[in-house]
Structure 1
């Protein structure tokens, strides 16, 4: 959510935040805000596709600082898109801005864009570090506030809604949480603390005579949150006579606070707001506006107990019916629910099951070419097929939840309750389920209707966790166009990335230049060796030649950050690779992990790959870059050999990817012969694109 203008007002007036020394406490953390803040604050690359190792180091240092200060973190993350669609227009606007930001970065201008695999890296690290986490069914704000309210502990986030929630432990904005300036206790490490500034509702109310915490939800709705139509806000402020302020902070915000402080109750204040917003109209005409305000205010009314408190103490089986779970999601098998809520499955799974809608993340690429996500479309079609075609009974609209009452959707404030399966979903046709994808076409946000594809012999989602490993592995390899024998010589951590690389080679258009392939393989070699050197028992730790190779490559990537313009050809191709990697990770997890999930932090360094490709194109030999020890050369050679063994898995394995063609012609029309590499039944795999 977010209250327009409230953060600016609070940060300009320092009366409302007090200095605290945070130590020996629980801390509820907004996970989505955390990985955004840590990535953008660590100075990692955004233009070349990301530097995940630098980000991972930042994440590890953050949680180490918390541990040193005896702070117990509990991370709660946003999940899928809200089933009620109250934020969908906001999400579309954000997607449009991301496309523009990506384009600006591609032209060398300053902008901000989160690289594609950032959340996957973050989730993996939290699972490895055993940090307690929960991925919500939709937006996490309400669950975060409810948990902190029950525990009486502070919340760490960047969301201005937390200036409204009545939290005893308070709200700490990220910019005022100085974890990098941790003070280590002189007498004992247990006395260490993190300096911070903390806000509480009571402190705000103490500065305005007559203002009560119960009045703040109305303040939020008037100022504008997800529930407030812009025209109502404009009409209200054009008619209300706000008191003059003393010149502190934002005059409009402070004037509104002073105005609300005059009323004895929220009901009395709401009556006056409706009078101004509707111009004294009849009560029948005011009912819709009153419903909007009531629903918006209800979003800040916290329950006496939090479902997540029980989850963090007893696991998934303790979740009661009060958790906000749409019926379609509640009807899924236990293994899939557990994967979603514990962060082992991406939020895309929820979006497909509940809304049949997916927002594809913008990347830095050549905007004159079709979106880089076109390359991974056949993988996504199989993901959609497994969830919708192989699981149709559970995915059908109106299915009741089962067990623990999880089928109920909590419709806070009466807005959107029970609407998700009807008004929110975009692809719920009774005969052929489909998924609506939102992606870039040129510099515009467009939507495409994608038909799921279910290969023959595909395992059922309902019993996926009981299927034999060979069945699940063969399904994955068929989709990724690689035979199992090609993987045998490779380290387990590189098997899925090599499947992705072989798929990318066969499916991407234009076909990657040989130097780009060499750069990708060298990047995987570099990441694998860096990972091994973090393990003291690994033989590579004691080999100075390996250290020399890694230092040489590190310096090459570092020099790339200091200058050199961006090659759009390389950027576009590497964005295609990352898109395939993200889709393949999801498919592997949905198939109950037939291959080990690779450590994503070590997979990709955009600055290194761009630098290596440029060096290779200028004539530097791979042997020169890897000189000093035989291990790096042998590892690189095994990866190159795997690409040479790759080939199609058969004529019916996958749909043909017609994304680029249909974007040009629209409405799914295809020229004769435009069938891609795979053959399939007539009408399957068609993508219909419509501008927004």
Structure 2
């Protein structure tokens, strides 16, 4: 959520805050807000697909600081979209803004687009550091309020809605949380983090001791991220708001200040609402009253008992019960083992695919991973061959088994309808339901995953377990990518993976390990390539596009693996991909340099690299890197719709055809 202009308004008034020396206590952290803030405030790469290792270092330092000050952090993450869909218009607008930002960044301009896998990396860091966290079933704000008030501890976020919530211990804005400037208490060696805490009492006192129950009405009237009431403009055009000499240059601040002064005249929300409605036309009054009352409930604490989750591992909520999802699915959502993407597809039958910094003249990078997503949708919606055919006979499309995907089309957001894949009998039809997916034998789940990615377990046997999924995804990516992956792309990517493995070895060396000094020399050379400021050079758009496609394939491969209850070990994403380094290595390889020869000094790393290259070359077609892509192969990755939908989302549904995993290329044979 978020009230437009509210944070900059309260920042002008120091009297709304109290200084806080944070130590030896619990704190509730808005997880989504934190990883956004840490990434963008740390000047990390956003043009080359992200530097997840550097982000990992920053998150480690953040939580190490909290531990040093005896601050016990509990992180709460947003889940999927709300069933009511009240925020959907805002989500689409944000998606359009991200596309614009990605386009700007691709041409050397400004913008802010998070790397695609940042959420998964953040969750892995929390898990490794043993920081308690939970993923809410939908937006987390009200769950955070309930937990914070139960434990009487402050909330750390940068969401202006927390100026409205009635928090017992207040709200610490992230921009006033000086975690990089810890201090020592006088007379002791105890450390604390200087912070400023927003005080609702001081805020209300400033406005003639305003009744704090009026603040949700203020928020709704001001308009937040999902509330925009045209009738309110009629109110603001007629009412005379008392600004009392407030002369700030921002018009939004003047309205905020005036509305707060105006509302402070009334004893409670009911009296204030009646005085709002009298400015409206008669036929608007009742509808507006109902809308305001319903919207104000969004500022009440939720019924979710998160303390029971953190203390006993039990997650229960009325909203979750109403969804009637299998218990294993709900537990996996709460533990962050399933992504909001899965929740949106299952509950809302809709997904929004995140924009990346790529070649905007080409189809979205997400097209590459389409067949993986169709299998995910098949597992969630469970279409059998007979049910798909029956539905197709009754309707022009088998819409019962489709998912709406919102993805980039050139520089715009477009809606497509994607049909779920039909799966082997062990996974679909009367013998199977989502309720028992986690009970399907491991061998069958692994076979499905590997068949979707186009590899076999025997081929992957020579690769370390934690790298088997990324290597399998790499084989899939090479065959589906458009433009065509060159050998230099493949080698640069695998060398980047080796760099991550080197980092882990040097961070945690084995006692008496051989070649440690040589490994350090090799690692330092990789660091030099990484640190060369390739960000200053113009982005090679097709190269960026190709590596973005790899991340899309990895993301969906990861989600499919999670939905199948991890038949392959989940890879360590924190050290798997460094965009700055991979782009640099590609240019080194392209210029006749041979960074891979550097590995000959480190037998273990050289063997790892050779093993991964061998797997890839054993899977992809012979001579793949030595001949031009044929026209028939190029068709495979075209967006599988008969015609594009316009921006108004034309009512005629165009459905991507059902794809059997026994014919992995079937979907891509349909003309655009």
TM-score by length of 2: 0.89
**Structure 2 Cα separation of the partners of residues 647 and 241 of structure 1:** 71
In the TM superposition, what whole-angstrom CA distance separates every residue of 1:114-165 from its partner, at most 9, and x where no partner exists? 0000000001111122211111111111111111122211001111110001
Instruction: Please give the residue correspondences for 1:105-120 in structure 2 after superposition, counting only pairs within 5 Å.
Output: 105-120=105-120
Residue 506, structure 1, aligned to residue 479, structure 2: yes
Aligned residues of 2:164 and 2:299 also touching (Cα < 8 A):
yes
In the TM superposition, what whole-angstrom CA distance separates every residue of 1:239-288 from its partner, at most 9, and x where no partner exists? 11111323376332111111111112221111011112x14x26xx4111
Partner of 2:46: 46
Aligned residues of 1:171 and 1:199 also touching (Cα < 8 A):
yes
What's the CA shift for 1:537? 2.4
**Structure 1 Cα separation of the partners of residues 528 and 586 of structure 2:** 14
Residue 155, structure 1, aligned to residue 155, structure 2: yes
Instruction: Please give the residue correspondences for 1:380-395 in structure 2 after superposition, counting only pairs within 5 Å.
Output: 380-389=373-382
Count of residues paired in the alignment = 634
**Structure 1 Cα separation of the partners of residues 471 and 219 of structure 2:** 50
Partner of 1:605: 578
Residue 679, structure 1, aligned to residue 647, structure 2: no
Partner of 1:584: 557
Partner of 1:400: none
Partner of 1:398: none
In the TM superposition, what whole-angstrom CA distance separates every residue of 1:83-111 from its partner, at most 9, and x where no partner exists? 11111010000000111111111101121
**Structure 1 Cα separation of the partners of residues 258 and 46 of structure 2:** 40
Aligned residues of 1:156 and 1:172 also touching (Cα < 8 A):
yes
Aligned mate of 2:638, from 660, 670, 678: 660
Instruction: Please give the residue correspondences for 1:325-336 in structure 2 after superposition, counting only pairs within 5 Å.
Output: 325=320, 327-328=322-323, 330-332=324-326, 334-336=327-329
Partner of 2:130: 130
**Which is worse superposed, 565-574 or 524-533?**
524-533
Partner of 1:81: 81
In the TM superposition, what whole-angstrom CA distance separates every residue of 1:452-482 from its partner, at most 9, and x where no partner exists? 1133144444223333322211111101001
Partner of 1:407: none
**Structure 2 Cα separation of the partners of residues 85 and 670 of structure 1:** 22
Aligned residues of 1:375 and 1:507 also touching (Cα < 8 A):
yes
Residue 595, structure 1, aligned to residue 568, structure 2: yes
1:320–1:485: structure 2 CA closer, same or farther, 3 Å change rule?
closer
Instruction: Please give the residue correspondences for 1:333-412 in structure 2 after superposition, counting only pairs within 5 Å.
Output: 334-389=327-382
Aligned mate of 1:274, from 277, 280, 284: 277
Residue 528, structure 1, aligned to residue 501, structure 2: yes
What's the CA shift for 1:574? 0.1
**Structure 2 Cα separation of the partners of residues 560 and 568 of structure 1:** 17
Aligned residues of 2:216 and 2:296 also touching (Cα < 8 A):
yes
Instruction: Please give the residue correspondences for 1:17-28 in structure 2 after superposition, counting only pairs within 5 Å.
Output: 17-28=17-28
Partner of 1:564: 537
**Structure 2 Cα separation of the partners of residues 307 and 162 of structure 1:** 19
Aligned residues of 2:642 and 2:671 also touching (Cα < 8 A):
no
Instruction: Please give the residue correspondences for 1:646-657 in structure 2 after superposition, counting only pairs within 5 Å.
Output: 646-647=619-620
What's the CA shift for 1:669? 8.7
Structure 2 SS opposite 1:311: helix
Structure 2 segments unaligned to the other structure (5+ residues): 386-394, 622-633, 646-652
What's the CA shift for 1:680? 7.3
Structure 1 segments unaligned to the other structure (5+ residues): 393-426, 649-655
Partner of 1:313: 311
1:95–1:523: structure 2 CA closer, same or farther, 3 Å change rule?
same
What's the CA shift for 1:6? 1.1
1:47–1:453: structure 2 CA closer, same or farther, 3 Å change rule?
same
- CA-atom RMSD in angstroms: 2.8
TM-score by length of 1: 0.86
Structure 2 SS opposite 1:337: helix
Partner of 2:624: none
Partner of 2:204: 205
